[in-house]
Structure 1
Amino acid sequence: MSAVEHERGMSVVVPVKGRVPQMRAQLASLRAAMDRSPEPAEVLVVDDSDPADAASHQLNCEEFGARYVTGPRHVGAKRNLGVAQARYDLILFTDSDCRVPPEIFERHIKTLRDAGPSVGGVAGPTFVEHSDAPTYRFMRWSKLLNDDLERPRRRATVTWATTTNLAVRRKVFEEVGGFPSESLTIVGGEDVDLGIKMFDAGYTTVCDPETVVIHDHASTDSLTTACRRLFTYGRSEQWLCTIHPGHRRPVVNAFTLATAAAAVGMVLVPRFGGRGLLAVPMALGLVAGARAQRLRGSNRSARAAAETFACASVDLMFDLGGFVAAFELRRPGMLFTGLRPADAD
């Protein structure tokens, strides 16, 4: 990547595909924030939508003063392209289905300008907006979907942060090689990869708990969407484990356990018939039940019990993604490993 000196200011890079209404709302929020920026700022929207949505994005970019860039399919490659075309020395990453607060430029620019050179980035928390959808009501318990977004609210530093609310020094971004342009999944894991590379290079990502980005609730309104996201995250985690082995940890994958239960069930078929295969759903149910208990903590209400069990059952899609990826990557040892959390280092 280039080592050219860039002007002082902040460039925002937003990858998008479809999501025209959400992207328009994000552009409006970014326009309001740019109007309060203490330094020059710009927004780059990197898009690979179909022609109709692309035309709408271009019109919205013109209206809100953003630069429209046609990009590749992979989200990491989109963000790299946006940075390559950016003017300024600070880069803010956020997503098309989010809305930033008016003070985001002020706060993130001040944090990075005031910090020493060992601080490579600043992250703020992201909260999913409230919804009355049934799926949202029980998936709000999911740590797999929400903890990484919210972590900067309760930490001083993190190993990595989601690119819904992350500003970095361009020099550091280029030094560590930016985002992966290819990976096992089109989206998912690229933010983790960047953060780990910055951490391993000796840079700190500090947290600003007061600069809160709002995430659209559509991602948790639909059971199908939630399952797809969790499955993708599980697959991407295994890919991350292969390229960052020093950040792995032992884990109990529910589907690895279920496979072992199936093997035992097959052995018991001659004695118990088909009932021996009930060991598989029983194993998954036991894992979901144990995880649900951890999710609800001290809340002993019947509603909390029902919601957390439903949530933990859907969260098993993350395990399924990891289980499948271990075979896709031809690394069966990954059936017993996962990535350490962003606040575990």
Structure 2
Amino acid sequence: MKQDVEGISVVVPTYNYRDLLRKTLDSLCDQSLDKSLYEVIVVDDGSSDNTFEVIHAYKDKINILYLYQPDFGFRVAAARNLGIVQAKYEIVLFFDSGMIASRYLLEEHLKVHSDAQPAAVIGLSYGVNEFCSSNFKKLSEILQEPKDTIFQLLSISPELYDCRFEIFSNLEGGNLEGHSAWVTFWTGNASVRRADLIKINGFDEWFRSWGGEDVELGIRLQKAGCAFKLLPGMEAVHAPHEKDSEQKVRDSRNNIQYICKKHPEREYQTLKTLAWQEIIETGFNHSYVNAESSLA
């Protein structure tokens, strides 16, 4: 098995989002972290918009790797696994195409992973809602402002805060322990040690439609003994774009049935009847110690 190097690998899955991808890559070029300590892995899930051409403009700006898998339908779980396999650094950050990073995003993720405890780090992002971006117009207008002022303007716009912000703020000291944080492990902006991902076989590639593959990974990370930690502040923003919210709701419901069948423990059956906010507020505190077999 390859030896992981100190630093962070940013895995960005994408599909026909070349313009949004540029915004993401531009923000990852402008990081406070030294460029020798991170790489960006773009995993193309079969795009037909010549996404690969975008990558060439960044070859001399950051350490970037482009990977492609044929378009056999929605395969974001497989795309992220491909990124995990190719990652050379010890920390893997999952960051969606269309997310914009603050200058301190990568540095802050590494800080949270500075101790030896296995951790799944949840990063909050402006403009993130469960199924779609709200306040589309205002968010779009702010993103047209000069780069140095975007995050300042977002910080004074509470209606654009991550939908998880309020409920996490109400937890004592921001402590996620015992609050079933796996249900909010959304991989638009989240990081884990590569070794911990390898131990549990990465993402479940059964998922072939939107929603749930990241929450299911969070369940297995919890079972493997990972603590859930919150990245201080909001160091990213979800660039608004059109989505089929109704289809996403339908897909997520189907995927919940699969998750509950795979994980029959009572804690995870709450997905059938409770919203994620209610699951967090109810909270469970189970301890799991057995990790799964290594990623092939």
Structure 2 length-normalised TM? 0.72
Q: Distance in 1 between matches of 2:165 and 2:255?
A: 17
Shift of the 8–152 alpha-carbon distance from structure 1 to 2, 3 Å rule, reads farther
Q: Give the equivalent residue in structure 2 for 1:124.
A: 123
Q: Give the equivalent residue in structure 1 for 2:14.
A: 16
Shift of 1:86: 1.1
Q: Give the equivalent residue in structure 1 for 2:200.
A: 176
By relative contact order (CA 8 Å, sep 6+), the higher-ranking structure is 2
Give 2:230's match in structure 1, choosing from 204, 207, 211.
Answer: 207
- 1:3-62 Cα offsets, whole Å, 9 max, x none, are 4321111100000001111110000011112x5348610000000344433343333443
1:67 aligns with 2:54: no
Shift of the 251–120 alpha-carbon distance from structure 1 to 2, 3 Å rule, reads closer
Shift of the 10–171 alpha-carbon distance from structure 1 to 2, 3 Å rule, reads same
- 1:203-229 Cα offsets, whole Å, 9 max, x none, are 11111231432112224xx6xx12122
Q: Give the equivalent residue in structure 1 for 2:28.
A: 30
Mark the runs of 5 or more structure 1 residues left unpaired by the alignment: 134-145, 253-336
Question: SS in structure 1 opposite 2:233?
Answer: coil
Q: Give the equivalent residue in structure 1 for 2:212.
A: 189
Q: Distance in 1 between matches of 2:12 and 2:169?
A: 22
Shift of the 124–51 alpha-carbon distance from structure 1 to 2, 3 Å rule, reads closer
Preserved contact between residue 8 and residue 39 of structure 1 (Cα < 8 Å)? no
Question: SS in structure 2 opposite 1:341?
Answer: helix
CA RMSD after TM alignment: 3.0
Mark the runs of 5 or more structure 2 residues left unpaired by the alignment: 128-132, 139-161, 285-296
Q: Give the equivalent residue in structure 2 for 1:88.
A: 89
**Paired residue type of 1:54:** T
Preserved contact between residue 15 and residue 47 of structure 1 (Cα < 8 Å)? yes
Q: Give the equivalent residue in structure 1 for 2:99.
A: 98
Shift of the 191–59 alpha-carbon distance from structure 1 to 2, 3 Å rule, reads same
Report % sequence identity.
25
Say which structure is richer in helix.
Answer: 1
Shift of the 230–26 alpha-carbon distance from structure 1 to 2, 3 Å rule, reads same
Q: Distance in 1 between matches of 2:116 and 2:60?
A: 37
Question: SS in structure 2 opposite 1:96?
Answer: coil
**Paired residue type of 2:216:** D
Q: Distance in 2 between matches of 1:31 and 1:150?
A: 30
The count of residues paired between Structure 1 and Structure 2 equals 242
- 1:238-291 Cα offsets, whole Å, 9 max, x none, are 221111121102855xxxxxxxxxxxxxxxxxxxxxxxxxxxxxxxxxxxxxxx
Preserved contact between residue 12 and residue 97 of structure 2 (Cα < 8 Å)? yes
Q: Give the equivalent residue in structure 1 for 2:270.
A: 249
Q: Give the equivalent residue in structure 1 for 2:79.
A: 78
Question: SS in structure 2 opposite 1:162?
Answer: coil
Q: Give the equivalent residue in structure 2 for 1:54.
A: 51
Shift of 1:121: 2.1
Question: SS in structure 1 opposite 2:8?
Answer: strand
Q: Distance in 2 between matches of 1:241 and 1:338?
A: 14
Structure 1 length-normalised TM? 0.62
1:42 aligns with 2:61: no
